[in-house]
Amino acid sequence: MKIHICLTGIKTIILDCNNISQYSVFLINSALMNRRDIMSAVNPDQYSYPSVFIYGHRATGKSHVVLSIMKDLELPHASVDCVECVSSGLLFHQVLSAFFGPDAAALLPRCPSLSDFVRLYKQMSSNSPATQTRYIILDRAERMRDMDFSLLPALLRLQELVNDNVTVILLSEIVWEKFRPNTGCFEPLLFHFPDYSKGKSLVQILSWDHHPSYTPELYASYINILLGVFFSVCRDLRELRHLAVLNFSKFCEPLEKGEAKESDIHKLWKNIEPHLQRAMQTVYLREVSSVQWEQQQMDEKEATTLRVLSAHAHIELPYYSKFLLIAAYLASFNPARTDRRFFLKSHGKIRKTNFLKKHEKTSNHLLGPKPFPLDRLMAIFYSVVDSRVAPTASVFSQISSLVTLQLLSQVGHDDQLDSPKYKCSVSLDFILAISRCVCVCVRLLDLLALSLVIQSQVVRQERSLFTAVSNLHLL
């Protein structure tokens, strides 16, 4: 098995590869050590294991390690990014042209099936039998699940199908359990790339690209400060490197001005810490582009606050579109039963005690927008808008343009003609901003207030929840 060679060749790789992979190679080394029993059972003369599945989070060095090994040992391999393969045909094409040259790939028919691929592969490999194991590396293999149903099981045992010494290596960010098809399939060899730990590995790796004009110790302490701020929200090595490069010049500023020495870590920390906090709120979320961030650092003007992306939340809309959106919001978040009470002047008496059913007392904002039919939207629209509006074609076309602007979203596609259903997909703040600038009549504000008062108590709690959820997502 060729991975043996990897093990023996690790030293050369460490010498050749650049810094990041070094650590990762250690990792794969240790991972392989655990599997030593499997490997020792395999005779190098025999065919290698048909398929290997490597998983781990983003930026843990999966593809980097695999590809560096392939390159350094000059193994025959075809590396394919599955995002790029919009059809399985492209995948076959790339594999064939990597192994047997573009002429072989040109022999594929126009819409190649799996059997076409296998046939061609067999034909080609009989012409030029493998001296070494051939490797097919499929990056972002999770996309394979969206492709042809039979493709993944077939690739897992491609060796049997083509009768050639070939190994398929799948790289993915998600675990193998999510891949396994219902019908079962050949179980590949699993490898896990664990996340980098904070203390050792991340500092080590990040310290490798230190600035030539400063000492490595200084850079390491900078990295420590950086990780102190960002580690709680981000463990992506690439992102951290990016942030480190962006903010390093600010860190060095006191040194260049001569205000501090390299040993004054505390002073340097005081200087950089608020800056990094700000970076977390802006650059990290891409509210401010990194170029703008750098420019701001150069300008040295702290007073100029950059206009962040989400600051431009205001949207200019035509008059009736605003009302349509408000109506849609009301329709989406109010129960249909309450319409009569809110929008009719002479609504019947409703006993207060059981006006709202128990399940309706939980905030409608927590439950999210509910779909509503077009008729209800129009009825609320007419009662909300202060003047008489003719049901013109342009009012209806505004609904569809709101849909294309993604302020409304259309639900279900079965009954498009008779009763299309919509959902409102804008936030409460947005609606309040709109109604504030549109409200000439007090009635509408009352209405909004009335309908929102039921929900408003929970809104605050809900917001904190949202932020918590988004933080969780980041982790």
The binder of other proteins chosen from 7, 42, 67, 114 (CB under 8 A): 67
Q: What DSSP state is assigned to residue 311? A: G
Looking at residue 382, its amino acid is Y
Q: Which of residues 169-208 bind other proteins (CB under 8 A)?
A: none
> Residue 393, interface with other proteins (CB under 8 A)?
yes
Query: Encoding tokens for residue 360?
Result: 């309706």
H-helix or E-strand containing 190?
strand 189-193
H-helix or E-strand containing 81?
strand 77-81
Of the pair 84, 273, the CB lying nearest other proteins is at 84
What residues contact residue 134 under an 8 Å CB cut-off, 6+ apart?
76, 77, 78, 99, 164, 165, 166, 167
Per-residue x/- marks for other proteins, 343-382, CB under 8 A?
----------------------------------------
Q: Which stretch binds other proteins (CB under 8 A): 188-196, 219-227, 234-242, 340-348?
A: 234-242
> Residue 319, interface with other proteins (CB under 8 A)?
yes
Of the pair 268, 317, the CB lying nearest other proteins is at 317
H-helix or E-strand containing 217?
helix 216-230
Of the pair 177, 316, the CB lying nearest other proteins is at 316
- For tokens 């993915």, what's the residue? 172
Q: What is the CA radius of gyration of the chain?
A: 30
> Residue 474, interface with other proteins (CB under 8 A)?
yes
> Residue 290, interface with other proteins (CB under 8 A)?
yes
The binder of other proteins chosen from 15, 291, 298, 303 (CB under 8 A): 291
In DSSP terms, 346 is beta-bridged to: none
How far is 406 from 348, CA to CA, in rounded Å? 37
The binder of other proteins chosen from 35, 178, 180, 238 (CB under 8 A): 238
What residues contact residue 137 under an 8 Å CB cut-off, 6+ apart?
63, 66, 67, 70, 77, 78, 79, 80, 169, 171
Per-residue x/- marks for other proteins, 399-438, CB under 8 A?
--x--xxxx---------xx--------------------
> Residue 318, interface with other proteins (CB under 8 A)?
yes
Of the pair 90, 450, the CB lying nearest other proteins is at 90
Chain centre distance of CA 354:
45
How far is 472 from 466, CA to CA, in rounded Å? 10
Q: Report the interface residues with other proteins, using CB under 8 A.
A: 58, 63-64, 67-68, 70-71, 78-79, 81, 83-84, 86-87, 89-90, 93, 98, 108, 110, 238-239, 241-242, 245, 285-286, 289-292, 307, 309-310, 312-321, 390-395, 398, 401, 404-407, 417-418, 474
